């Protein structure tokens, strides 16, 4: 069965004066993606899908360029909607993220509910991967909804303990379209399997 992967964008340029979906990759984040492309792990993918947020598009474009592919930007794969609070300083953001994962059935301070974000990302990824099931596809997106997708694929409860590694992003997991389809858990892009 064809395997696919979900990759989170790495480090971004944080700017409180710019809407979060418009943040781009930082030089460190860009360098990590470029190293991943050079290492060759991405060469098995024949389709690159990105959310419509700048940082994901930038990461996906770097990967696709290295493969001679173009990216497909798909609406609905975006990070959980946090526009109700806008930018939060890191300590406050971490507390909100903890609450988001701890109470998936509730909206915390106006954030999109984790259950709704999970349903959205699962439906989008399954629809896209299912449209070309034999094409190895790399989805490039965001850590929060990536964690929600991973929980669904692994039949795990939504929990912050399932979140990506605390390395500034740039993590991935593999999956197939069959039930219990999680092939491997979060790994840093520097630990991409051959």
pLDDT value at 46 more than 90? yes
Domain that holds residue 15: 4-191
Share of the chain above pLDDT 70, in %: 98
DSSP 86: -
- CA distance between the termini of the chain: 17
**pLDDT digits over 111-148, tens only?**
999 999 999 999 999 999 999 999 999 999 999 999 99
Confidence of residue 192 (pLDDT cuts 50, 70, 90): confident
Residue 47, beta-bridge partner list: 137
Q: CA nearest 143: which of 59, 79, 61, 55?
A: 79
pLDDT value at 34 more than 90? yes
Total of domains in the chain: 1
Q: What is the pLDDT of residue 146?
A: 98
Token digits of residue 137: 């596809």
DSSP 25: B
pLDDT value at 13 more than 70? yes
Supply the CATH number for residue 165's domain: 3.40.50.1240
Share of the chain above pLDDT 90, in %: 94
**β-bridge pairing 71-73 and 47-50:** parallel
**β-bridge pairing 4-8 and 137-141:** parallel
What's the pTM value of the predicted model, to 2 decimals? 0.96
């Amino acid at each position: 069965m064809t395997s696919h992967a979900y990759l989170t964008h790495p480090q971004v340029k944080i700017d409180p004066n710019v809407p979060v979906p418009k943040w781009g990759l930082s030089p460190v984040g860009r360098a990590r993606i470029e190293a991943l492309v050079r290492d060759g792990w991405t060469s098995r993918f024949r389709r690159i899908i990105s959310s419509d947020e700048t940082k994901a598009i930038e990461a996906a474009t770097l990967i696709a360029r290295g493969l001679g592919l173009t990216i497909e930007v798909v609406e609905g794969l975006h990070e959980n909607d946090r526009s109700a609070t806008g930018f939060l300083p890191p300590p406050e953001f971490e507390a909100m993220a903890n609450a988001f994962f701890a109470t998936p059935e509730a909206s915390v301070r106006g954030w999109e509910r984790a259950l709704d974000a999970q349903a959205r990302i699962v439906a989008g990824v399954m629809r896209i991967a299912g449209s070309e099931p034999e094409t190895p596809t790399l989805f490039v997106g965001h850590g929060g909804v990536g964690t929600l997708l991973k929980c669904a694929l692994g039949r795990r409860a939504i929990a912050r303990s399932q979140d990506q590694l605390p390395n500034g992003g740039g993590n991935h997991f593999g999956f197939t379209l069959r039930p219990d389809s999680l092939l491997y858990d979060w790994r840093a892009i520097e630990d991409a399997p051959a």
